[in-house]
Structure formats: C-alpha cells, structure tokens
Structure 1
Amino acid sequence: MVRPDSQDTASSLTRGLSLLDLFTVREPELSIRELARRSGLPKSTAHRLVGDLLAWGALERTPRGVRLGVHLFELGSLVPAHRRLREIAIPYAHNLNEVTQLTSNIAVRDGSDIMYVEKITSRSLNVPHSRVGGRLPMHCTALGKAMLAYSEPEFVDRLLGGELRALSSRTITSPQVIRAELAKIRETKVAYDVEESQPGLFCVAAPVFGPFDEVVGAISVTGATSLTQAQRFAPVVRTTAMALSRVLQSHSTLRADSVARSA
C-alpha cells in the first residue's frame, strides 16, 4: 500500500522534472515567474520546486532567473548505451567531416524522434542546424528515415498513423510516400533529406547496426547543396556506416533496446 506522503513525494518529483522540459535552445534561461506561468503551477509551488532543483544541481541561478545545471550533463554522460555508441562512432564522424568537408552527425532513436549524440561541424556550413542533445522528428530527417527503415513494423505503423508534422514546405507528410522511401532505403542503405527538416539544407545518412543486426543509430553528413550533389556523398556515408557497424557488432554489450526508447 502506498502511503499518502509517498504519493505527494512522487507528485512533487514529477512536477519538478516537468519544469526542466520548459527550457529550450532559444530560451535557456527562465524566471521563476515564467516557469510558474508555463507550467500552470502556483508561484509558491514553482518557487519551492526550483529551490529543490537548485539544491540538487539540476538548475543553477543566473542574473535573469535559472538555467539547466551542469549536474544534468554529468548524468547524461553516464548513459551507457548512448555513451558507448558515441565513443566508438566519434572517429568515424571526424573522418567523414575531413573527407567531405561537411558537418557530420551521429543520432539515435528516442521515441518518434531522433536525438543527436554527436556533431562535427564544418566551417562551410553557415546555416544553423543540429546540436548535441537536440531532437527532430524521424519522418523528415535522413538520420530518422535511415533508422525508421529498419525499425519494428509495429513502431513504423504507429508513427506513420499519427501526426506527421511539416517542418518545411518540402517535408513529406504522406504515409504512402514515406513507406515507398523506406523500401528504397532498405535496398540502398542510404537515406536523404533535401530541405525537409530545414530550408537550404540536405542530409545523407546511413543506418548503423549492432551485434544482433538491429539498428542502433545512424550517421550522416549535412550541407547546403542540391540532391544531385548530395548523392555524390552517399558511397562514403554508406561505407562509413558499414565499417562502424562491424566494430559495434563486436561489442555484444550494446543492445538496441537500451539505445532506442520506444514511444
């Protein structure tokens, strides 16, 4: 039997953690008043929860309010599967960056989104795009489609049966068109995003497989050019993903179910 005080503690923990979700890249700092307004919590409750988060290190004070604390970064670096994949894949991402002179990315699946776990930036790419820890919908990114093509059929059906949000005028929102594209990706092991996630950008990605031939992530290059130019980078991206997969397949401790959290 759960005691009432245990329920209150769980409720406070949930509400406190929900405050952390209110911070974004564009708004990394928020006042307690703004946190209370956006969360719908009384200001006194928000103030108390922020105090607890400050004491624990999840938040830190700024001249204008609070921001996410370094303790969250420390914990994030301990996530074993993501950390292991990132550690092994970083040299491959650096090599892609050097060979192509484009921005290279490593991502994993997180629910119906991709999450970037590494990014090697190219000086020639001036258009803001991915960031480590950032998320984008799977259906409109090359990285996401590369993983989606090898995901469980039940997951694919659920994702394509839901809302397919358009991030640009070129985002594909037709389930039938996406399914046809996924079938082609399974043939070529290469996925493309041509201005689907952001105007002016292309991305070429390839899936990365783990020790049981399960998809555990994807690797890509991003640039500002046309599809014809983008296709020139497909062989090197695919070859890099295959080489990375061979290394990962020798590490039997890396499991797909710990890399990708199903929705």
Structure 2
Amino acid sequence: MGSMASTAPMGPMGPDEGVALPNSVLGKAQLLLGAFESGAVRLRLSELSRRSGVPKASAYRLAQELVRWGLLDRHDETYELGMRLFQLGERVPASAVLRSVARPLLTDLFARTRATIHLAVLDATHVLFVEKIAGEESVLTHSQLAGRLPASCTATGKVLLALSPDGRRHIGQLPRGAGLATLTERSVVSAAVLERQLAAVERQRFAHEVGEVRAGHASLAVPVEGPDGVVRAALSATGPVSEVSVERLLPTLRATAARITRGLAGPVAPRVR
C-alpha cells in the first residue's frame, strides 16, 4: 500500500507539521492501519484519529470499511488489527520462505544460547522483526514479532545498514547531525559516530550494541545471506550484557546464519493454501 499512497494527491496537513494527508481512500486507510505500528494493540476511535491524522468522521467511516474487509476487528469501543492482515502477511513470499527455513534453526539456537533470538529485515530506516524466539524472561524487551525499531541503535539495524544492498541508500534518509532516533541514553545520536560504527561492521561483518535499545542489555548480530551472496536479513542474540559475549556467541550465530543460507538455496517451500 505504501507506494500507492505516496503517489496519491495530497490534501490537508496531518498532525505532523508539513506532512499532508493523502486524498485517496487507500492512502487514509494505510494511515489508520499504520497507527498500530507503535505497538498499540487496541485503539479507541479518538486515538486512531489522533495517531493517523485522519479526521474523526473519516476515520470512523474507513474503520467500518476495514472491519468489513477483515483488516480491523472491533471490540466494543476499540479497534485492533484483523486476522486478515495476518493471513496475507504469512503469504508475503520473501518473509514466508525466510521464516519457514529459519524458524527451526532459530529454535535450536535459542535452546543452545538461552538468549532472545531475532531475525530482522531492513524497512527503510527501521528494522522489522520477522521472527523472534524467546523465553518468559524476555517479556519486557522492546522487540516484538512484526514490530519495528530504529536501525541506527539496534545490532540488526547496524548490520543491515552496513551490509545490505539498500543499506547505503537508507543511511542517506537518516537525520544528519545529532537527530538520530534514540531509545536510551546510550543510543548513538550522531550520524558521524554511526558512520564510523558501520565502517567497523562492514570490516568485521558483525555488530555488537550495548545498552542502546534497553539499559543493561546487549545484542550481537550477523548478516544472513541469500544463495546469491546478497545480505537479506540479520540474525541476533539479545540478553543481559554479561551474557552477550562476542567470543561465546559469534561462532554460533555465524554457523546458524550459514545454515539458513544453505536452506534458502534448497527447494522452495510449498505454497500455503
């Protein structure tokens, strides 16, 4: 939907100064669905309108349509994302094949390390988590399946910005100076510092962040290549700082990433009906 909305004629200004609302119904529907990207599970109509920038009357009419299409569900006075979105998302070829190959290997990796395991892809200036394997102790971590975090302060994001084909282009979309998104006081804020970090990641082919996403926690990430040698995703292990050791985890992470690459080179998984 993103590309369609971006080319649609623009109407009145939205809640962010200088950002115009799309005139198309599809563009406004995208904004309503995007209101859930911050991690909200259920939203009242007033909150849905505020977060999307769509006027309340229009938001109500569109929300009713989205409920009929199964893209939203309504519970009393609140809305949540519908199961139809999950069903469609499971059929996105790139993520479906990647997840089907990677999931059993990530489960084995979690069993060996007891760290929270993430598989992420680059989504412009953010990372999108397409898989997460974790134990009960990880409930309070910031990440979630299908959730997004700033690429500049995550280990997976640094790997993808430094090594993926679109990484350099998306680096150019990041704010200059000290305007990078931050999650803790240790998150990198300077574009110049980030550039130096990414240069090191490019040389070492791994990223190690400490306390940039959650205080007291660290992540170690490595690239996952496709059969053509192009970096498609990043694989990471996250846990308390004392448990995320480069020496201990890096060989295991790289071995799992290599196994995912070999799996992607095999027969394509059968289509889900």
Question: Do both share a fold (TM > 0.5)?
Answer: yes
Task: Report Cα offsets for 1:124-154 as digits up to 9, x if no partner.
Answer: 4453231110001111111111112213474
Whole-Å Cα distance in 1 between the matches of residues 204 and 51 of structure 2? 45
Whole-Å Cα distance in 2 between the matches of residues 185 and 38 of structure 1? 36
- Matching of residue 62 in structure 1 with residue 75 in structure 2: yes
What letter corresponds to residue 133 of structure 2 in structure 1? Answer: I
**Is this contact kept in 2: 1:107–1:117, CA < 8 A?**
yes
Whole-Å Cα distance in 2 between the matches of residues 154 and 228 of structure 1? 28
Whole-Å Cα distance in 1 between the matches of residues 173 and 247 of structure 2? 27
How large is the Cα RMSD of the aligned pairs?
A: 2.8
Which structure 2 segments of 5+ residues have no match?
1-7, 12-21
Deviation (angstroms), 1:191: 1.1
Which structure 1 segments of 5+ residues have no match?
1-5, 254-263
Task: Report Cα offsets for 1:70-89 as digits up to 9, x if no partner.
Answer: 11111111100011111111
Whole-Å Cα distance in 2 between the matches of residues 249 and 173 of structure 1? 38
Give the 3-state SS of the residue equivalent to 1:170 in structure 2.
Answer: coil
- Matching of residue 92 in structure 1 with residue 108 in structure 2: no
Whole-Å Cα distance in 2 between the matches of residues 40 and 161 of structure 1? 23
Q: Are the structure 2 counterparts of residues 244 and 67 from structure 1 closer, same or farther at C-alpha, using a change threshold of 3 Å?
A: same
What letter corresponds to residue 158 of structure 2 in structure 1? Answer: K
- Matching of residue 172 in structure 1 with residue 196 in structure 2: no
**Is this contact kept in 2: 1:102–1:124, CA < 8 A?**
no
Deviation (angstroms), 1:252: 9.0
Q: Which has the higher contact order (CA 8 A, sep 6+)?
A: 1
Q: Are the structure 2 counterparts of residues 91 and 11 from structure 1 closer, same or farther at C-alpha, using a change threshold of 3 Å?
A: same
Whole-Å Cα distance in 2 between the matches of residues 59 and 157 of structure 1? 33
What letter corresponds to residue 101 of structure 1 in structure 2? Answer: R
Q: Are the structure 2 counterparts of residues 216 and 38 from structure 1 closer, same or farther at C-alpha, using a change threshold of 3 Å?
A: closer
Whole-Å Cα distance in 2 between the matches of residues 49 and 84 of structure 1? 33
Give the 3-state SS of the residue equivalent to 2:237 in structure 1.
Answer: strand
Q: Are the structure 2 counterparts of residues 85 and 228 from structure 1 closer, same or farther at C-alpha, using a change threshold of 3 Å?
A: closer
Deviates more, 1:236-245 or 1:54-63: 236-245
Whole-Å Cα distance in 2 between the matches of residues 173 and 227 of structure 1? 26
Partner of 2:88: 75
Decide which of 156, 169, 172 is 1:155's aligned counterpart: 169
**Is this contact kept in 1: 2:128–2:148, CA < 8 A?**
yes
Q: Are the structure 2 counterparts of residues 199 and 215 from structure 1 closer, same or farther at C-alpha, using a change threshold of 3 Å?
A: same
**Is this contact kept in 2: 1:58–1:69, CA < 8 A?**
yes
Where do residues 28-39 of structure 1 align in structure 2 (5 Å cutoff)? 28-39=41-52
Aligned residue pair count: 248
Q: Are the structure 2 counterparts of residues 14 and 223 from structure 1 closer, same or farther at C-alpha, using a change threshold of 3 Å?
A: same
- Matching of residue 222 in structure 1 with residue 222 in structure 2: no
- Matching of residue 135 in structure 1 with residue 148 in structure 2: yes
Where do residues 95-106 of structure 1 align in structure 2 (5 Å cutoff)? 95-106=108-119
Percent of pairs with identical residues: 36
What's the TM-score, normalizing by structure 2? 0.80
What's the TM-score, normalizing by structure 1? 0.83
- Matching of residue 244 in structure 1 with residue 260 in structure 2: yes
**Is this contact kept in 2: 1:140–1:171, CA < 8 A?**
yes
